[in-house]
Amino acid sequence: MTTSRRLADKKVGKFDKNITRRGSVGQSSSTKKGNNYPVGPIMLGFFVFVVIGSSLVQIIRTATSGGMA
């Protein structure tokens, strides 16, 4: 048996094993538990501060210029 044939048989065997296990995934691995947010609360607060602050500055700028851009 050549090396490439051995590797191919190994990959096919691994694939076949995955096919037979399909659908038997436990509940615990498919649902997330806890509060795992992609960003931390400090970064979220900073983002909200920047967005609200820039909108307030734009409103004040528009109000003081008389609404003409």
Alpha-carbon span 2 to 6, nearest angstrom = 6
- The single-letter DSSP state of residue 38 is S
Alpha-carbon span 14 to 3, nearest angstrom = 17
Note the pLDDT tens digit of each residue in 10-33: 888 888 877 766 666 655 555 556
Please determine, for residue 68, whether its predicted confidence score (pLDDT) is greater than 80.
Answer: no
Looking at residue 1, its pLDDT comes to 62
Alpha-carbon span 44 to 16, nearest angstrom = 45
Note the pLDDT tens digit of each residue in 49-58: 999 999 999 9
Task: Break the chain into its structural domains and give their ranges.
Answer: 40-69
Angle ∠(64,66,69) on CA atoms, nearest 5:
100
